[in-house]
Chain A
Amino acid sequence: MNSLPFQSLYDCLAEFQQRFNAHTRVKKLVVNWDRSIVVEATDSASVATMMIKELHVTEVLSGAHPDTSNPIHLQAGESALIRIFSGDYNPAHALIEGDLAVFSSEKDKVKLEAITMVIWGL
């Protein structure tokens, strides 16, 4: 039985895009922070990229579209990624548990952590 709320990573990220864009607090954190975030499932072929531009997730693309100057790459099993981006699994907890790997500059890791605290809370 599949208890995940979404069938695919792409669908999940598309829904996350709506929630992110409706979140007023998080916009304060992404001022002048335009990034592309590659989200890769390590146990399937699923890869997607979230484009953040001018305070919004402007689009979710299939495949990897990395920003070479500020690369951000998230890796986890597909079910963990779906649980994370549907709001069921706090990424900070996933990181501590070894379920999520984050590859980015240290400064961007802090930004991601702050975004996590604002969106996911505890």
Chain B
Amino acid sequence: MPLNLQGIALDPVHAQWRRVAKDVATKLALDADRVDREGEYPTLGVNLLTSSGLTGLTVPKEKGGAGGNIKTAALVIEELAQGCASCATCYTMHLSSMTLMAALASEDQIERLLLPMMRCGRLNSVAMSEPGSGNRLWHTDSYAERLPSGYQIDSFKSFASSSGNAGHYIVPVRASNSVGPTDISLFVIDGTDPQVKPVGRWDGMGLRGSASTPVHFDKVLVPEGNRLGSETCGFSMLFAYTLPIYQVGLSAMYLGIAQAAYDTAVAHVKKRIHSDTGLSLSKLETVQRYIGEMRVRIDQSRHLIYRVAQMADNAVVLFNELAEADLLDEIIRANPDDPFFIEVAQVKVSASEMANDVVAKSFQVCGGSAYKRGHRVERCVRDVRASSVMAPSDDTLKLIIGRQILGIEQPWEG
């Protein structure tokens, strides 16, 4: 190992937050099996995230947060996912909302909304997908109705993590019924509003504690002061400030699931000795090959995640500069095919495919043990399956990447 690691090694702030996350993840792991078995929201985990200062991780220090960046978030989410993927899912959505909030909140909104969000002991949710457009998140059918005192929102969102438990929901809807599907307003809606109605109880195959049920915002009255940014800037702002951390965060989460499965598989292989031959499982060449393949895939994915996270952090600085000149909305709309967004799409596809492969191999290596309910790898198998279908799905992202390469108009440009 060379000692000159400039530009490769993490900085001390990254390392510090990763240590914090590792400690939290160790505690999350103690409750993760129950959360999964009972499909319970990880309330204890959320309390730990709050008390450890992680709820304001990506909010700049001057706005009351910890001052971490997207790379910090990736490191933290990867650790948390090793402890409890359900909790990591909710946390990823929370950070996706907080980064947007930090970028767009006015002075009043910082005092009234952002600062309490970091301390209230609840996570935020971003309620994006709708039944009509499915995982094609750029298209929004529901709209806000202007009232003299603010807005009325009647919107049904298909999946929202932390549903019924969220402190606030960030809700993108069309600015009115007379504008296009990408002329989006962003609203902050209080999770305790009685017109916010989670639908049913989440009973997913995996990520069972994530409370990802639909939510009906049933004619919710929202004051004008809870709109983020200008009336139609939402599409661009989601692209600039939510999409990168959301995609990198999900990728880090899948990486954490894969790492947990891999670690379990390696431990199993080292421990297991067949009584007929007296040989350790580790002596089997097939197993050795599986372990090697998993390690290669995890490392490839981790480095891509770090690289795209670093790019995303650089991009945020650029977006802030453009926002200061009031150019961000028009520049993003004029460059829907920017290669940066393609990198952001690629990282999620790559991590998802890696994690499914690694978890499948871990399952194979652990054999019948992993087939039993409650085994660590068994939970990973169910949790990781969400990765390829969680919006935007891998298939949708590949379509976007392919269109960019082939110079074909993106679906949201039409």
Contact = CB atoms under 8 A, between A and B. Distances in A.
Given A31-B325, A122-B337, A113 B330 contact: no
Contacts of A121: 334-335
A28 B322 CA distance: 9
Interface in B189-206: none
A62 B181 CA distance: 51
Interface string A29-55: 101000000000000000000000000
A114 B318 contact: yes
A110 B318 contact: yes
Contact of A118 (B326, B327, B337, B338): B327
A64 B327 CA distance: 32
A114 B325 contact: yes
A117 B337 contact: no
Contacts of A28: 325-327
A92 B127 CA distance: 35
A120 B326 CA distance: 18
Nearest to A116: B318
Contacts of B337: 122
Interface string B316-358: 0110011001110011001101110000000000000000000
Interface in B72-129: none
A29 B338 CA distance: 20
Q: State the main secondary structure of chain B at its contact with A.
A: helix
Given A110-B317, A114-B318, A122 B325 contact: no
B335 A25 contact: no
B325 A117 contact: no
Contacts of B322: 29, 114, 117-118
A25 B333 CA distance: 14
B317 to A, nearest CB: 5
B177 to A, nearest CB: 31
Nearest to B334: A121
A117 B318 CA distance: 9
B321 A29 contact: yes
B308 to A, nearest CB: 14
Given A113-B318, A117-B318, A29 B325 contact: yes
B233 to A, nearest CB: 16
A122 B318 contact: no
Contacts of A110: 317-318, 321
Contacts of A122: 335, 337-339
A114 B335 contact: no
Contacts of B318: 110, 113-114, 117
Contacts of B331: 25, 117-118
Interface string A6-39: 0000000000000000000100110100000000
A117 B317 contact: no
Contacts of B321: 29, 110-111, 113-114
Contacts of B335: 117, 121-122
A121 B339 CA distance: 11
Interface string A95-122: 0000000000000001101100110011
A68 to B, nearest CB: 24
Contacts of B325: 28-29, 31, 114
Nearest to B319: A114
Nearest to A93: B339
B327 A29 contact: yes
A25 B327 contact: yes
Nearest to B337: A122
A25 B339 contact: no
A111 B322 CA distance: 9
A53 to B, nearest CB: 18
A114 B330 CA distance: 13
B322 to A, nearest CB: 5
Nearest to B315: A113
17 contacts: A25-B327, A28-B325, A28-B326, A31-B325, A110-B317, A110-B318, A110-B321, A111-B321, A114-B321, A114-B325, A117-B318, A117-B335, A118-B322, A121-B334, A122-B335, A122-B337, A122-B338
Given A111-B321, A117-B318, 4 more contacts: A114-B318, A114-B321, A121-B334, A122-B338
Which 5 residue pairs of A and B lie closest in terms of their CB atoms, listed nearest first?
A: A28-B325, A114-B321, A29-B325, A110-B321, A113-B318
